[in-house]
A and B are shown apart, each in its own frame.
Chain A
Amino acid sequence: MLSRRHLMALALPCLTAPTSVLADWEVNMTPGVTDVSQAVFDLHMIIFWICVVIGVVVFGVMFYSIFAHRKSKGAVPAQFHESTTVEVIWTIIPFAILIGMAIPATGTLIKMYDTSDADIEILITGYQWKWKYEYLNEKVSFFSNMSTTQEQIYNFDEKGEHYLLEVDEPVVIPVGKKVKFLVTAADVIHSWWVPALAVKRDAIPGTVNESWTRVNEPGIYRGQCAELCGKDHAFMPVVVKAVSENEYQEWVLAKQELARQEFELNNKEWTMEELMARGEQVYQRACVACHQANGLGLPPAFPALKDSPVALGPMEGHIDMILNGVKGTSMQAFADQLSEVDIAAVTTYERNAWGNNVGDMATPKMVAERKGQ
């Protein structure tokens, strides 16, 4: 890792307060775990070294002048100030170098754009501030939320190893298969990025962008949203779990079975306590970022739920608000994001938490009815 040591040398003057050891310092791009990411890394290094060489030559001449041609050493200025030949030479040489760079860059770019013949297609939708993954052929779909706690973020708890880069449900893909990502967004622009795959695609509401990967090594690869998307832009990580083909198939089956069970829950008879408990979990996952744990929100963008007319008003209105959201605001439509049970639970929770004391209870059936409206 010559390159790394070289960069480190540049960083040496900065050795003042850092706490961890040098070896842990990440100073370069990851070569990643795909052929494309390796090609990107190689390009990056080639261009980096070309720049270093040019820099050494140009600054070499400059520093030579600074030391040798100083007035204090009695330097007498020459009076030359023009040479068309020289100008032509230093126009043509850089141009030639650029052509040398452009050729491999073009090849890599063309490879990255070839999304044909994918084995698996995943529709990725960015929301404020979480990702939704839908496996188009396998009919598996789920949300992926950051699992780092507010306590860690606000320095009440020790920060974990994967602070801010951990999620409740990673997106699982098999190694060795071509996986196509179809990237879009539900509200503002996000950007789905996993450095180890060298995949970064903007998630743009209303259009679908395509990208692909074929991971060579099993492992867990972490990334983040890379386009400013509002308040919690820093808190919507991406975690990709690359597993063997068999493990992947098992995971798909398990997810499908889980979905069936979730669906069954809609028919269960729920008690108030059960709904409140489930509701709190759902609230922590889906609502807390805006409306806050204490239900006070962050007005005016994110209104309070405590004592709010919606939460204290008629049940139907409250459920409708959660199902349909409010157009043109950050309040999303949760109809497709949460199951009927979860909506019933979170509605119940919001009506009876933080001193809200309506006392009534929503049921999955009521939610299903409102959905039908």
Chain B
Amino acid sequence: MSAVVDSHAHDHGHHGPAKGFTRWLYTTNHKDIGSMYLWFSFIMFLVGGSMALVIRAELFEPGMQIVDPNFFNQMTTMHGLIMVFGAVMPAFVGLANWLIPIMVGAPDMALPRMNNWSFWILPFAFGLLLSTLFMEGGAPNFGWTFYAPLSTTYAPPSVTFFILAVHMMGISSIMGAINVIATILNMRAPGMTLMKMPLFVWTWLITAFLLIAVMPVLAGAVTMMLMDIHFGTAFFDAAGGGDPVLFQHIFWFFGHPEVYIMILPAFGVASQIIPTFSRKPLFGYPSMVYATASIAILSFIVWAHHMFTVGLPLAAQLFFMYATMLIAVPTGVKVFNWVATMFRGSLTFETPMLFAIAFVILFTIGGFSGLMLSIAPVDFQYHDTYFVVAHFHYVLVPGAIFSIFAAAYYWLPKWTGYMYDELLGKAHFWLSFIGLNLTFFPMHFVGLAGMPRRIPDYALQFADFNQIASMGAFLFGTTQLLFLFIVIKCIRGGKKASAQVWEGADGLEWTLPSPAPYHTFSEPPTVK
């Protein structure tokens, strides 16, 4: 431990990263940790994506061809868990790590060592989760929502490790979120008032709050499962006075805020990118902040809309229907604001902007199907069909994932110091765009026509659309290797990026040179 504080000079010495692999193991640097998060999430994205391709290959035509039904269930389960907890969440935490300190003018995250621990739990947690694939009885096969008693009494032995892996992810997420909140509340540069913060920072502040509020509830849910499995408790068994539906209430109390945890930072990313490439300030900044907060608050009182078919009393059904419909209002406000930002701007369409525009359009389509799903009597027909699968993939793939791509292209020059290859970036966008729509749009049709989700084999009338979806999935999946190539190419060199990078970019991070130095804002900047 050197006494850093005493000598500003030393601090400004811009001592670079340590040499060797211990740089990554021991690092306390938010940029290193952010990069590790992003790489980790990309690896998980490929792993979870491969599982999706196994699913789509089996569903290419009716009949069982490639895997057995039990393994198919393991694939759907692991695909969901890995994409949610391993790909989307860590990617946003990675972006938060990289960007929040340089956006608010802080020297680093508030608690840098804990930051490192938040990350380094993840490889162990996912190693444990993935190892269940090789255990006797197979990996978890009860869906990423793991409803009891399929996930308790009737689960394979590996469920115990699944539970412990979820605990580890929870610890990581909570510590990560605490760090984000402490950074935002305590580390802003002088003059950076709350209502001057970039929207990405605002959305992450609210996301972090959601994480701290609901990850412990998930921990509680899996703990109850563990007790039911190994210690004879009766949380989810009616024979002992419990109720399997209790599990769903607790799970979705976590689960619904969780889906906003995956989309609010995406809102933030879009709100950074669209103004830049419209060369016009974000329309309605305060209303964007209030809308985000409203969505977060509403997310706590809508959980049972995932459970319209479990036999809730009529009054509960109505309450959750109305509350859910209300979410459309703040979400609509956000979309209108983005459109108003573009309106009468001076638009250009670099790769980040393409992803951001596709995000707005396709996320809105997902929002529309979400509104349809909120109507309880109609949800009896939609529930647990491919319509739901289409809905949440429309909000998560072009929603969360596209915004992550947009963010990556937008800030890559700042991270690496080089411009990425614009032509390849556009190719990546269009192939992804076509692939994802081919994959997920037909799912609306088969869902409405009556195809349940999580089935390895289906009736003949669903065959054509499933074939299209499978081909789209392979197109989308292989396209992502192009992204890997683009990123590596950009790291290795290319056109030098200026500090400003984008003509219309505004914010503290663009005042730093590209690539951003290893230590930034050791001396806080002053924000006017």
Contacts and interface: CB of A to CB of B under 8 A. Distances in A.
A81 B284 contact: yes
B456 A95 contact: no
B476 to A, nearest CB: 14
B244 A30 contact: no
A204 B364 contact: no
Contacts of B154: 128, 187-188, 230, 329-330
Interface string B454-481: 1111111111110110010000000000
A105 interface: yes
A69 B383 contact: no
Contacts of B526: none
A280 to B, nearest CB: 23
B372 A44 contact: yes
B91 interface: no
Interface residues of A, number: 108
B375 A81 contact: no
A152 B62 CA distance: 10
Interface in B312-334: 314, 317-318, 321-322, 325-326, 328-329, 332-333
A202 B284 contact: no
Contact of B285 (A11, A26, A78, A81): A81
Given A81-B282, A91-B329, A163 B62 contact: yes
A151 to B, nearest CB: 10
Contact of B457 (A40, A75, A153): A153
A226 B389 CA distance: 13
Given A62-B342, A77-B346, A94-B332, A43 B364 contact: no
Interface in A197-244: 198-202, 204-207, 209-210, 223-235
B484 interface: no
A328 to B, nearest CB: 5
A191 B307 CA distance: 12
A79 B278 CA distance: 11
Given A102-B321, A207-B243, A11 B348 contact: no
Interface in B243-261: 243-245
A315 interface: no
B314 A113 contact: yes
Contacts of A254: none
A1 interface: no
B430 interface: no
Contacts of A226: 309, 383-385, 452
Contacts of B137: 300-301
Contacts of B441: 10-11, 14
Contacts of B346: 69-71, 75-77
A199 B154 CA distance: 27
Given A28-B449, A77-B279, A164 B459 contact: yes
A159 B61 CA distance: 12
A230 B73 CA distance: 8
Contacts of B127: none
A193 B447 CA distance: 13
A65 interface: yes
Given A18-B468, A81-B280, A204-B245, A164 B458 contact: yes
Contacts of A336: none
A43 B375 contact: yes
B325 A110 contact: no
Nearest to A22: B464
Contacts of B368: 51, 54-55
A78 B345 contact: yes
A109 interface: yes
Interface string A178-191: 00000000011101
B450 interface: yes
Contact of A19 (B149, B287, B457, B464): B464
Interface string B221-242: 0000000000000000111000
Interface in B134-160: 136-137, 141-143, 147, 149-150, 153-154, 156-157
Interface in A1-39: 7, 10-11, 13-14, 16-20, 24-30, 39
B121 interface: no
B377 A108 contact: yes
Interface in A49-99: 51, 54-55, 58-59, 61-62, 65-66, 69-72, 75-83, 86-87, 90-91, 94-95, 98
Nearest to A90: B336
A91 to B, nearest CB: 6
Most A CB contacts (10 A, CB to CB) among B150, B285, B454 go to: B150
Interface string B293-323: 0000000000000000111001001100110
B380 A224 contact: no
A24 B449 CA distance: 11
Contact of B468 (A10, A17, A229): A17
Contact of A25 (B143, B343, B364, B445): B445
A48 interface: yes
Contact of B372 (A48, A82, A230): A48
Nearest to A204: B244
A101 B333 contact: no
Contact of B238 (A163, A207, A229, A235): A207
Most B CB contacts (10 A, CB to CB) among A7, A39, A47 go to: A47
Contacts of A25: 445, 464-465
B288 to A, nearest CB: 10
A141 to B, nearest CB: 22
B110 interface: no
Contact of B461 (A13, A26, A189): A26
Interface string B142-181: 1100010110011011000000000000000000000000
Contact of B333 (A24, A90, A187, A209): A90
A70 B467 contact: no
Given A59-B364, A90-B332, A189-B150, 13 more contacts: A26-B449, A28-B448, A29-B381, A29-B448, A61-B343, A65-B345, A77-B280, A105-B321, A164-B458, A187-B149, A204-B245, A226-B452, A230-B154
12 contacts: A13-B438, A18-B464, A25-B465, A66-B342, A77-B278, A81-B281, A86-B340, A154-B64, A189-B147, A233-B455, A235-B69, A301-B137
* A-B CB proximity, top 3 nearest: A206-B238, A234-B455, A209-B311
